[in-house]
């Protein structure tokens, strides 16, 4: 699979002064591949993309791709609620050498289905890179319907997949039933990864995979081999981690967790807040299982 099955939406490290820490970003990307991920998404929701400036994004795309080379795919988040900006950022990301782009359904301005066709069509016509559409109505206030996604697949061969964070298994099933043969379906929600595999999905763009990529790989392999009992057991074992990582707005918990494990990632940029004290206690008790020997 061109972009990989297990991708991590990588957090963006910041220095104590709040600047992007490009060296730590490169180290973290290498660690995530070594952990078992096939690739990383850079400057997505988990990477605080809305709070990262355009020049910072472009440098991150370059730095992370240079560090990973052919060892892992780099998918750049180039989507926004401004079609012209999305097109331009996609073109610049291609120059940075990324392997694909993630383009979110435009947020806040609540586009119509026709508006989505025009938006994604403009991006698809601007690049030869593989495009993964990101449908997350809980954050965008707009849901791309399966018929719209099917139309985009039919019109644009370089629209290669979807990261589905609708939480709606019926809608996911409709997408999977009618998808193009080479179209990749990623779960955008860690707790739904196994259910998505069960209805025919392909992979995950995860948050918990900063920590448990190895377990996710084992779960995929077990399910693919027909060992549903083992896959289900791994899913149940990971459930407390999922619960803690999404108990408040992501990426606040996962970034705090990575700090506790020795990564110099800093806090989140405003408008995100700090880690709640009660959640620190809850999450810290789960981290020993994911603590590396060295960082």
Catalytic residues: 134, 163
Task: Give the bridge partners for 42, in sequence order.
Answer: 76
Query: Roughly how many angstroms between the first and final C-alpha of the chain, as a whole number?
Result: 30
Report the sign of the C-alpha dihedral through residues 111, 112, 115, 116, in that order: positive
Query: By CB neighbour count within 10 A (0-12 exposed, 13-18 middle, 19+ buried), where does 267 fall?
Result: middle
Helix 146-155 and helix 169-178, axial crossing angle in degrees, nearest 10: 30
Query: 93 near 54, Cβ under 8 Å?
Result: no
Distance CA 110, CA 107 (A): 6
Query: 190 near 207, Cβ under 8 Å?
Result: yes
């Amino acid at each position: 699979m061109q972009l990989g099955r297990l991708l991590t939406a990588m957090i963006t490290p910041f220095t104590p002064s709040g600047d992007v820490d490009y060296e730590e970003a490169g180290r973290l990307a290498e660690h995530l591949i070594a952990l078992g991920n096939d690739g990383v998404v850079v400057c997505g929701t988990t990477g605080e993309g809305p709070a990262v400036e355009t020049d910072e994004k472009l440098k991150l795309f370059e730095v992370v791709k240079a560090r990973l080379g052919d060892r892992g795919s780099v998918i750049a988040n180039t989507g926004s609620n401004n079609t012209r900006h999305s097109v331009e950022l996609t073109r610049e990301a291609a120059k940075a050498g990324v392997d694909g782009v993630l383009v979110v359904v435009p947020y806040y301005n609540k586009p119509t289905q026709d508006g989505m066709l025009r938006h994604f069509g403009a991006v698809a016509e601007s690049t030869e890179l593989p495009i993964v559409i990101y449908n997350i109505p809980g954050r965008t206030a707009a849901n791309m319907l399966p018929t719209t996604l099917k139309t985009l697949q039919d019109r644009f061969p370089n629209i290669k997949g979807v990261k589905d964070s609708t939480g709606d298994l019926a809608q996911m099933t409709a997408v999977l039933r009618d998808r193009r043969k080479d179209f990749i379906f990623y779960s955008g929600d860690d707790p739904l990864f196994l259910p998505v595999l069960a209805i025919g999905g392909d992979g995950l763009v995860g948050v918990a995979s900063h920590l448990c990529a190895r377990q996710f790989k084992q779960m995929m392999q077990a399910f693919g081999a027909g060992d549903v009992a083992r896959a289900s057991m791994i899913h149940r074992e990971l459930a407390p981690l999922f619960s803690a990582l999404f108990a408040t707005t992501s990426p606040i918990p996962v970034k705090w967790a990575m700090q506790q494990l020795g990564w110099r990632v800093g806090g989140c940029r405003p408008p995100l807040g700090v880690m709640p004290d009660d959640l620190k206690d809850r999450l810290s008790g789960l981290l020993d299982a994911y603590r590396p020997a060295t960082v």
